[in-house]
Amino acid sequence: MRILIHGGFFSESSQSNETKLLKQKVLLDILEKSKVYLQSNNAVATSIFATAMLEDSPLFNAGTGSQIQQDGKIRMSAAIMDGTSLKFSGVINVEDIQNPVFVAQRLMKEDDRVLGGEGATKYAAKEGFPLFSTETEERKKEYLSKKESNGTGTVGCVVLDRQGKLAAATSTGGKGFEIPGRVSDSATIAGNFANQNCAVSCTGVGEDIVSSGLATKIVTRVTDGFSLTEAFKKSFDELKPYDGFAGAIGVSKNGDVFFSESHPKIVYACFDGENNTVFV
């Protein structure tokens, strides 16, 4: 069994040591709870469970604490991919929902499994999800002062369960101050992808991740015979011509785990089957 979670990028220059330690604590707490959950649940359920807890922490840019767009509204995106069934579901620019990943989960039962904007928000309401404001005082202050937020980031999780099944889940509150209607990578197969061989979740600048098809590219290379490390290295090398800003976590069917970043520092925690590791 393996679990990796990430919380986006951390800015050493802009965040206090207290914040750094708090992020470490939160990541390890979520990792421990997810390990317990995985004992009696599969990869898909565990990826959703961990991502929802990350969404509920205002330390990260997903769910509570999401960024605010140019028009003063918060629009969030999230996706899940089941590596066994190869089903992908997601919401793009959904509003007024506590946990976008739960709406993505509900969409797994639908024929139309990726919804955006007003359609996604209406679907969530129809399915009984209560209205919820994810705005925090800190994000509001940043918006009013026209300051970009520092050290928050997209969240995600990849899991290998005891049956050898894989899954990935990713959630984001956007980049902040974006043009309303912008689509991030998180609810696309560029930012979140899994099959029977590998699962990957990305963070960073969505446009750069989409340009490279990063998550799908890594998973495809593992499927074609690359080791997980080789797949990450080649895929990240291909970001260099345009200085692509990205980070990713991945796990393969044989239990290999890996993370990489084109710019420091991705915030992540990992259970490799024996030990916990946290990097902030």
* Domain boundaries of the chain, sorted by first residue: 2-279
Q: Is the pLDDT of residue 54 over 50?
A: yes
Q: How confident is the model at residue 13 (pLDDT cuts 50, 70, 90)?
A: very low
- The residues carrying an active-site annotation are 154
pLDDT at 15: 63
pLDDT at 201: 98
Residues 118-123: contacts with CB under 8 Å, at least 24 apart: 120/91, 120/92, 120/93, 120/94, 121/94, 121/95, 121/96, 121/97, 123/91
| Model confidence, pTM | 0.95
Q: Is the pLDDT of residue 148 over 70?
A: no
- Where are any strands of DSSP class E within 59-100? 76-82, 88-94
Q: Is the pLDDT of residue 280 over 80?
A: no
Q: Which amino acid is at 78?
A: A
Q: Is the pLDDT of residue 9 over 50?
A: yes
Q: Which amino acid is at 170?
A: T
Minimum mean pLDDT among 46-60, 115-129, 254-268: which range? 254-268
- Cis omega (within 30 of 0) for bond into 25: no
Strand arrangement, sheet containing 192-194 = 192-194, 198-204, 246-252, 257-261
User: CA 169 to CA 150: how far, in whole Å?
Assistant: 23
What is the phi-psi region of residue 121: left when phi exceeds 0, alpha when psi lies from -120 to 50, beta otherwise? Answer: alpha
Q: Is the pLDDT of residue 147 over 70?
A: no
DSSP state at residue 43:
H
pLDDT at 152: 55
Angle at 168 (CA atoms; ends 161, 264), nearest 5 degrees = 115
Query: In this structure, which CATH number among 3.40.640.10, 3.60.20.30, 3.40.50.720, 1.10.3720.10 belongs to the domain 2-279?
Result: 3.60.20.30
